[in-house]
Amino acid sequence: MSEALNAPVTNVDVVELFDASAALVARLKISCADRPDLSVIGKYAKNAGATAARREIRFFERLAPHWAHPAPRLLGFHDTRQDVLLLSEDLEAGGYRLVGGGVSDAQLRGTIETLVDLHARFWNDIPVELLDDSPFELSVTSAAQALPREVIPRHAEALREEARQFFATATDLERGERTLFEAVVEAWEHRFQLRVADSRALTLIHGDFHFLGNVFFAPGDSRPKVIDWSELKAGLGPHDLAYCLTVVPAEDRPARDRALLRAYWDGLRSAGVDGYSWELCEWDFRFSTSCKLLQAVIQRSVKWYRTAAAEIEAMGSRANLAEPPPVR
């Protein structure tokens, strides 16, 4: 702690522990000899979790300084060969809260503005350092990653292995529900390769942008703060929007989502993004909706698998996978 903060730490209290699959994450109260007490979020990780934590440190050091990012402040870190300790700003101490599916219309607009800021900043300008640091060590949750192109078949095979393990235990899924996965992952692999063949109309995406745990709002502020940047990757901009909308209810989801997507596309154009047609933006969004089924397999969740299957049907995403992307 002292080395991470570059200050003499005299006491650490664990205030709250959080569920996390690859790291030990806690809210900490830290007392230092030469400054007021701090409320921080600590993330301690080893092995694969340490790899993810190092990706997040890379985000803070190399990418965050290039735009007015919505991430919490990095307060310090300590990295050894065996483990990583990362300390960041405690958003809840600053009045920010998770809203889950209860996100308001104003907050949805603020979310779109935040995504536009990120995606427009790195549109067709993927930092080389993001791609040259052992990309194949990325977790299978990086299945939305577009570059390097070699990751796509590797992720497809990893997804099939995840599915074999998932379906072995998810015995209540009907045969028709199971076969949907193979149809989606097969088309996903080939269409994704075709979509990114010229590396055009790609950007940096958060990759795990969701209202249930990573997106926080403060009262009176419609623009969110966003945590967990370890899955940042080159991808399709609409993926982040499609991913976060799953938990937000709507009487007419296709109409609601299309209107929000249009606001996102208009925002990109206002931010100076050109050469990205509305038709391709729609295709990217429906393609990204299909990815949610793959994510549900990774999470090994029957609930989210069925939710994703229903969304694929509602959005016409299977038909979308049968069509080549309208790249001009």
Q: What is the distance, to the nearest Å, from the Cα of residue 131 to the centroid of all Cα atoms in its chain?
A: 17
Give all strands (DSSP E) within the chain, no chain letters.
9-18, 24-32, 38-46, 74-79, 83-89, 97-98, 203-205, 215-218, 221-226, 233-235
Comma-separated ranges of CATH 3.90.1200.10 domains in the chain: 95-321
Tell me the CATH architecture of domain 95-321. Alpha-Beta Complex (3.90)
Q: What is the DSSP string of 5-23?
A: HTS-EEEEEEEEEE--SSS
> Given pLDDT bands bounded at 50, 70 and 90, which one contains residue 139?
low
What pLDDT shows up at residue 48? 81
Mean pLDDT of the region 12-17: 96
pLDDT tens sequence across 61-112: 999 999 999 999 999 999 998 999 999 999 999 999 999 999 999 999 999 9
Mean pLDDT of 176-199: 95
Given a cut of 90, is residue 327 above it in pLDDT?
A: no
Residue 12 has pLDDT above 90, yes or no: yes
| CA-closest candidate to residue 129, choices 66, 36, 208, 213 | 66
3-state secondary structure of 234: strand
Question: Where in the chain are all domains bearing CATH 3.30.200.20?
Answer: 2-93
Q: What mean pLDDT, rounded, does the chain reach?
A: 93
Give 136's pLDDT tier (boundaries 50, 70, 90). very low
pLDDT band at 135 (very low <50, low <70, confident <90, very high): very low
Looking at per-residue pLDDT, the higher value among 142 and 232 belongs to 232
- Give the whole-number percent of the chain exceeding pLDDT 90: 88
Q: What is the pLDDT of residue 209?
A: 97
Per-residue pLDDT, 70: 98
Return the CATH class of domain 2-93. alpha beta
Res 83: pLDDT: 95
Q: Which of 188, 201, 235 is nearest to 124 (CA)?
A: 201
**Model-level pTM?**
0.95
